[in-house]
Amino acid sequence: MELFLQQLLDGIATGALYGSLALSVVLVYRASGIVNFAQGEMAMFAAFLTWQAHTWGVPLVLAIGLSMLVAVVFGAGVERVLIRPFGTTAAAHLSLIIVTLGLMLVLTSAAGWTWGYLTKQVPPVFGEGVVDVGASAMSRQALGIIAAVAVMSVILYWLFQKTRLGLDMRAAASNPESARLSGIPVGRMLMLGWGLAGAIGALVGALAAPQLFLQPNMMASMLLYAFAAATLGGFDSPVGALIGGLLVGVLENMAGTYIDIIGNDFKQAVALIIIMAVLLFKPEGLFGSRTVARV
Amino acid sequence: MREHRTNHGGGLAAARRQLTRLREPHAPLDAPVWLRAATFCLVAGVAALVPLYAQPYVNFDLSMVMIYAIVGMGLNLLTGFNGQISLGHSAFFATGAYVAAVMIQDGWHYLAVLPVAVVVTFVLGYLFGLPALRLQGLQLALVTLALAIVTPAAIKRLDDFTKGQEGINLYTAQPPEWTGLERDQWVYLLCLVGVLVAWLLTTRIASGRVGRSLVAVRDNETVARTLGVRSSRTKTTVFALSAAYTGVGGVLYVYVVQFVGPDSFGLVMAIAFISLIVVGGLGTISGAVFGAFFITYVPEWTADVNQAAAGMVYGLSLIVFMFVMPFGIAGLARAALRPVVDRVPGRRSLLSDRSAPTVGGAAAPVEGPEELVRS
């Protein structure tokens, strides 16, 4: 039982990160109707920027804030320069998948070129040590991650539901044509969506770096879990992404503990199985909206 | 942002016109039958003579080019002709390679494992293609990307067969005594036979009924179905077929490299395959050859710059080609050679189709409504 609780708590902590990265994937999907395959690599790059600023003596929290700012600008720039020229027709999807794949490779290589492939040690944001939760123990970092993700979710909820800007963004995502006619600068809203996604990714990167050890390929499997989370939650549902992330995190930990064949080093299979199963049996996920094809 | 159709424009306007021309699709060259046959025999003949005079390392590189060309042809049938994107073909490549490596270790003859690997990867591809029926482009990309990421971990997990992290070293594909060839020459010729068979097979498929049904399903599935194309069977079969091509590539890879290890078949290989067909030209057959040269020689040229340089070039080329030349090098070659080839007299093949490849929306100059308001 104690083991079970421990695994559950650990699963929730990693799941919070998966959910956040999935959230940034979903934001982009809602804005532009595509999946940005470079989302994980953008987060990795931001984590490197955080680390770099920190080694130059900037306090850690400030460094994270700075790299989030950079990520906003970068995300918006990517949308404007690389994504928008292709338009949003269904035919452009193949091209856009290929472009974001290219970006993924460019960012990995750029990080490798700049900082090398040796892992870097990143101090945990919330300090070392453990806190007792009932019968089991949680690291301060894990608790901090859960808290940070919770705060971020509340802020985003407030932004999208309670502010004019959030309303404009939702309008631009759900019906660009009508939004444009109502005087909403749709292009700018899309850029903002990408920028927000970048900022969330930067936060995830900084929070995940202590566990994953900072290196250029660290986000590949993280992206896989984020995709599993987004698929499970439904690709157009931000809430679904977070809940899906928690579920994937817990499932992955449980499977690694209790299913022998998975074990500790084959957990990635859980993500693949989740993606396959959801797409085959409930393609819209738990919270996504059903798309009905009309001919 | 509007093109003014004037002839006096400066170099810039001319350059822009050239760029727009690169973004246009080009129909396959409609060469007369005799010219096609002659070109094929000439290329095959020259290619067969190369290994007798080249250095061993050159032969190995060219063997890799031919292996990648086979993979590219299969992947192009799937992505270029049928419009299904797969980022997971590195998994099928790994399957072919590991099936070959494990069986050769168990004492099978190295040529005997080839049909086995073809069957295994075909069946695997078919099984994986079944869900592909229900998935649209984006979801298929997700699933196959997941497959590519999981592959190395799966290989390590099956360490009873695969020896896990340490990989399998082999000593295989020795040339028969009577040929008097060196190993590198022999392996090169095996790859050449493979690529020539793949070429003939692919041109047959692409220019025939099957090819037209592939393109029909890609361009409008609903219409294709009303015209009697069995779209679901077409899609799964082409998925399986492209997996089998890739499996053959994997087996030949074992002949050339004589080693398999889990980390060779990761995400980088999967994206390299995508770069191959994009740079070569989506929906073309010759493009697979151009792209194969590209992904074989880029790592070599960039190796002394930085270990990250190859990935950088692949990534940039994906982006740049999508913007500037969505139809790749093959599209460029078609545009350049058309005026010449069209003048050559001779009987045209009945099978040659004049339809151009159309791949997703190429990047068009942005013309938002805001501009319309201003002008």
DSSP letter for each residue of chain A: -HHHHHHHHHHHHHHHHHHHHHHHHHHHHHHHSS--TTHHHHHHHHHHHHHHHHHTT--HHHHHHHHHHHHHHHHHHHIIIIIGGG-S-TTHHHHHHHHHHHHHHHHHHHHHHHH-SS-B----TT-SSEEEETTEEEEHHHHHHHHHHHHHHHHHHHHHHHSHHHHHHHHHHH-HHHHHHTT--HHHHHHHHHHHHHHHHHHHHHHHHHHH-B-TTTTHHHHHHHHHHHHHH-TT-HHHHHHHHHHHHHHHHHHHHH-TTTTTT-THHHHHHHHHHHHHH-TTTTTPPPP----
The residues, any chain, with a CB within 8 Å of residue A284's CB and separated by 6 or more, are A234, A290, A291
pLDDT for A4 equals 83
B361 to A104: CB separation less than 8 angstroms, yes or no:
no
Chain A residue closest in CA terms to B164: A265
Chain A residue closest in CA terms to B276: A98
Residue B19 in contact with partner chain A when CB distance is under 8 A = no
Report the 10 Å Cβ neighbour count for A26.
29
Residue A269 in contact with partner chain B when CB distance is under 8 A = yes
Rounded to whole angstroms, the Cα distance separating B6 from B342 reads: 28
% of chain A surpassing 70 pLDDT: 96
A112 to B311: CB separation less than 8 angstroms, yes or no:
yes
- Work out the pLDDT band at A244, boundaries 50, 70, 90: very high
Residue B7 in contact with partner chain A when CB distance is under 8 A = no
């087996």: which residue's tokens? B251
- Work out the pLDDT band at A177, boundaries 50, 70, 90: confident
Residue spans of alpha helices (H) in B77-112: 89-105
Residue B144 in contact with partner chain A when CB distance is under 8 A = no
- Among the partner-chain residues A111, A224, A276, the one whose CB lies closest to the CB of B149 is A224
Q: How close is the nearest chain A Cα to the Cα of B342, in Å?
A: 31
In this prediction, residues A53-82 reach a mean pLDDT of 93
- Cβ-Cβ pairs closer than 8 A, A with B, add up to 163
pLDDT for B366 equals 36
Window B:109-138, CB contacts with A under 8 Å: 131, 134-135, 137-138
Window B:163-192, CB contacts with A under 8 Å: none
Chain A residue numbers with beta carbons less than 8 Å from the beta carbon of B154 are 266, 269
- Among the partner-chain residues A37, A279, A283, the one whose CB lies closest to the CB of B145 is A37
Report the 10 Å Cβ neighbour count for A153.
18
Q: How close is the nearest chain B Cα to the Cα of A38, in Å?
A: 11
Across A72-76, A290-294, B129-133, which has the greatest mean pLDDT? Answer: A72-76
Q: How close is the nearest chain B Cα to the Cα of A291, in Å?
A: 12
B315 to A109: CB separation less than 8 angstroms, yes or no:
yes
Mutation target to probe the A interface, by most A beta carbons within 10 A, among B150, B279, B307, B314 is B150
- State residue A136 phi and psi, 5-degree precision: -110, 170
B360 to A94: CB separation less than 8 angstroms, yes or no:
yes
- Among the partner-chain residues B153, B308, B365, the one whose CB lies closest to the CB of A265 is B153
B319 to A99: CB separation less than 8 angstroms, yes or no:
yes
Residue A259 in contact with partner chain B when CB distance is under 8 A = no
Please state which of the ranges A121-125, A261-265, B242-246, B328-332 shows the lowest mean pLDDT: A261-265
pLDDT for A227 equals 93
A263 to B135: CB separation less than 8 angstroms, yes or no:
no
- Among the partner-chain residues B157, B322, B364, the one whose CB lies closest to the CB of A99 is B322
Chain A residue numbers with beta carbons less than 8 Å from the beta carbon of B83 are 94
Window A:116-145, CB contacts with B under 8 Å: 117
Chain B residue numbers with beta carbons less than 8 Å from the beta carbon of A101 are 87, 271, 274, 315, 318
Single-letter residue type at A3 = L
- Among the partner-chain residues B145, B307, B312, the one whose CB lies closest to the CB of A106 is B312
Tens of each residue's pLDDT in chain B, 375 residues: 444 444 444 677 777 777 677 677 777 777 778 888 888 889 888 888 888 888 888 999 999 999 999 999 999 999 888 888 889 899 999 999 999 999 998 888 888 999 999 999 999 999 888 877 777 778 888 888 989 988 988 888 888 787 877 888 888 877 887 877 888 899 999 999 999 999 999 988 888 888 888 888 888 888 888 888 888 888 889 999 999 999 999 999 999 998 998 888 988 899 899 999 999 988 888 889 999 999 999 888 888 888 888 889 999 999 999 888 888 888 888 888 887 887 777 777 655 544 445 544 444 333 333 333 333
In this prediction, residues A179-191 reach a mean pLDDT of 91
Residue A271 in contact with partner chain B when CB distance is under 8 A = yes
Chain A residue numbers with beta carbons less than 8 Å from the beta carbon of B294 are none
Residue A95 in contact with partner chain B when CB distance is under 8 A = yes
pLDDT for B351 equals 53
Residue A292 in contact with partner chain B when CB distance is under 8 A = no
Question: Residue B64 half-sphere exposure, CB side, CA atoms within 13 Å?
Answer: 17
Q: How close is the nearest chain B Cα to the Cα of A88, in Å?
A: 9
pLDDT for A262 equals 75
pLDDT for A291 equals 64
- Among the partner-chain residues B134, B271, B363, the one whose CB lies closest to the CB of A86 is B363
